[in-house]
Amino acid sequence: MWVEGRPWFTMWRGAFGRQAVLIQRPESILQALPVELDAVCALVDEEGRVVAGRKPVGITVVRVATESQLPWSLYITGSQGSGDLVMTARQRFILLGLGTVVVFLIAGTYFVARAIRREIAVSRLQSDFVSAVSHEFRSPLTAMRQLSEILALGRVRSEEQRQKYYETLVGETGRLQRLVETLLNFGKMDSGARHYRLEEIDAGDVVEGVVAEFAPQLAASGRGIELHRPPTTCPINADAEALALALRNLVDNALKYSPDQPAVVVEWGCENGAVAIRVRDRGMGIPVAEQRVIFEKFVRGRAAIAANVKGTGVGLAMVSHIVRAHGGEVRVMSAPGEGSTFTIVLPRSRIQTSEAP
């Protein structure tokens, strides 16, 4: 009922001569709606007058009097007035879906770009490797061809010169053989076909054997290898041939990358239950950023390339492979211009240490 222009909601019921009456402002019915609904609501009578609340604008859900079981129609809309609640939820869902798709697209693009970058880097390394190997083959082959032609045509002036040519031929053939063996060994390791036969050996024997192999090369260049022997033997479980190959690579590198230095140092010893073999030079050194990647196959340092030092970039990859197969690790300490120290650390064999003779 309307009293002085204001609507009132009244209800009454009578029984056994008693009468109960409820008189209420219609707003109190709207107040019963849950606050979290966050909606604009209105009760509108048959004549279109707003009995309670605010008549919503925009897309609105209407429940007429017969449906709402109230004397009025109920109008309800989202608080923004931009659409109904269902619509807002759908929009949120679509936005979330779109957001997820965009995130997946960005992540996918990033991973694909990274994979492509890696592929390009690997193929560049491989082509550098092929050209490095070709160069390594070309110079001994050229020398061998020229010398054998001179010898075959009998253009040698003296017996002494002939002997010198033969020695050069032997040297170059050895160089070629070492290169081929290096590549074959690397191929085997890379494909996982290299098997190791571990036996108990003295690390010192392997080191001294490898150092002795460099004697002719050192004699020719007037350089040397300083050996620092430990007071005890250092027994290890190792494949002597593979360990020698790893060590040969380290000594070869030390000599190659310190061309102006008179000597490199090789030392070994037993430290904290492990055997450490160290190769030290005072050569060009390696920047910290490169120290992490030089053990990967085909990787060559910038300084090495700039100084035109020959190499294929597989030596340290082999060293790392061999040492890991022995349950050890290879460490590098280096500073550009100051030199490098490579250390092979292997688990020590459990047999008793004896005094060296």
Question: Residue number with the shortest CB distance to ligand ADP?
Answer: 301
- ∠ CA 86-91-101, nearest 5°, is 140
The correct pick among 278, 300, 326, 348 for binding ligand ADP (CB under 6 A) is 300
Beta bridge partners of 13: 20
**Cα(33)–Cα(53) distance, integer angstroms:** 12
Residues with Cβ within 8 Å of 357's Cβ and at least 6 positions away in sequence, in order, are: none
Which residue type, as a one-letter code, is found at position 162? R
Please provide residue 337's backbone torsions phi and psi, each rounded to the nearest 5 degrees: 85, -10
Q: Considering only 79-87, 117-125, 230-238, 281-289, which stretch makes contact with ligand ADP by CB under 6 A?
A: 281-289
Contact between 301 and ligand ADP by CB under 6 A: the answer reads: yes
Give min distance, CB of 254 to ligand ADP, in A: 5
Q: Are strands 39-44 and 50-53 parallel, antiparallel or unpaired?
A: antiparallel
Contact between 257 and ligand ADP by CB under 6 A: the answer reads: yes
Would you call 283 helix, strand, or coil by DSSP? coil
Size of the site for ligand ADP (CB under 6 A): 22
Sort residue 324 into left (φ over 0), alpha (ψ -120 to 50) or beta: alpha
Contact between 286 and ligand ADP by CB under 6 A: the answer reads: yes
Closest to ligand ADP by CB, 45 or 128: 128
- Show the site string, 320-349: x = touches ligand ADP by CB under 6 A, - = not: --------------------x---------
Closest to ligand ADP by CB, 79 or 127: 127
Which residue type, as a one-letter code, is found at position 35? V
Contact between 304 and ligand ADP by CB under 6 A: the answer reads: yes
Across the chain, the runs of DSSP E, i.e. the strands, are 2-3, 6-7, 9-15, 18-24, 39-44, 50-53, 61-63, 73-78, 199-202, 224-228, 235-238, 263-271, 274-281, 329-335, 339-347
Closest to ligand ADP by CB, 204 or 315: 315
Closest to ligand ADP by CB, 56 or 285: 285
Q: Considering only 14-22, 122-130, 217-225, 293-301, which stretch makes contact with ligand ADP by CB under 6 A?
A: 293-301
Closest to ligand ADP by CB, 73 or 340: 340
Residues that bind ligand ADP (CB under 6 A): 249, 253-254, 257, 281, 283-286, 294, 299-301, 304, 311-317, 340
